[in-house]
Amino acid sequence: MARVVMQAVVSVDGFIARPDDSVGPLFDWYSNGDTDVVARPSDWHFSVTAASADYLQPFWDAVDVTVIGRHLFDTTNGWDGRTAAGDQLVVVTHRPLPPEWLAAHPEAPFHVAGSVEEGIGRARELAGDDGLVCVTAGDIGGQAFTAGLVDEVAMDVAPVVLGEGVRFFGDHAGTVLLGDADRIVQGDRVLHLHYTVRR
């Protein structure tokens, strides 16, 4: 069965965005190096340090399907029909995608699911047995985490305290044990951490 990793850039105090969805200095490290990394198939280019590139590029290349919520879809305008990582994208939403957006992006490899459980299940099917599904942190990721559908947690910790905003784990409450960090990579103005969820 495909693995599911919950991932985002996060502040030291656990927020992935401000209350108005802006990211402030969280993403500064995406442009503070001299090594190019490319998120495919969107073809977005970033200039990070070599250490961050050695961590990021293999991760992005390994993602088969991304799962996002409707709020992120609306905030980014569905990235204009391109997936941020992976060949397919699943939007968890209770409303149909806007007809004008669908008309403008008829080839977009986007799928719709009515619940987190359905969305993760669909993404796992699309990714295949040995695939990797990336669910964005925040509300949808937190729901997946609470439902026990997340196998791994990947955090790119930026050295900033936002004080308030969108929590990495959404509304999750309760104790869940993670294994010791199996990846710890020090970048410039970012610390990359990877954990496996204990079962």
- The answer to whether residues 181 and 49 touch, using CB atoms and an 8 Å cutoff, is no
Q: What percent of the chain has pLDDT over 70?
A: 100
| Contact (Cβ atoms closer than 8 angstroms) between residue 162 and residue 18 | yes
pLDDT given for residue 41 in this prediction: 74
Question: What is the Cα–Cα distance from 158 to 160, expressed in whole angstroms?
Answer: 6
**Domain extents for the chain?**
3-196
Does the pLDDT value for residue 42 go beyond 80? Answer: no
Positions of E strands within 138-189 = 152-158, 166-167, 183-186
Specify the pLDDT at position 40.
80
Span 3-196: which CATH code? 3.40.430.10
Task: Work out the mean pLDDT of the chain and round it to a whole number.
Answer: 96
pLDDT for the residue 91: 98
Strands, E assignment, the chain: 3-11, 15-17, 35-39, 44-48, 65-69, 88-92, 110-113, 132-136, 152-158, 166-167, 183-186, 191-196
Contact status, residue 8 vs residue 141, Cβ threshold 8 Å: yes
Residue 97 per-residue DSSP state? P
pLDDT in tens, 134-168: 999 999 999 999 999 999 999 999 999 999 999 99
Task: Quickly state the pLDDT bin for 83 (edges 50, 70, 90).
Answer: very high
Q: Which of these, 55, 62, 57, lies nearest to 193 by C-alpha position?
A: 55
> Which of the residue ranges 39-43, 67-71, 180-184, 193-197 would you say has the lowest mean pLDDT?
39-43
Starting at the edge strand that comes first in sequence, how are the strands of the sheet with 3-11 ordered? 110-113, 88-92, 65-69, 132-136, 3-11, 152-158, 191-196, 183-186
The percent of residues in the chain predicted with pLDDT above 90, rounded, is 95
pLDDT at 127: 98
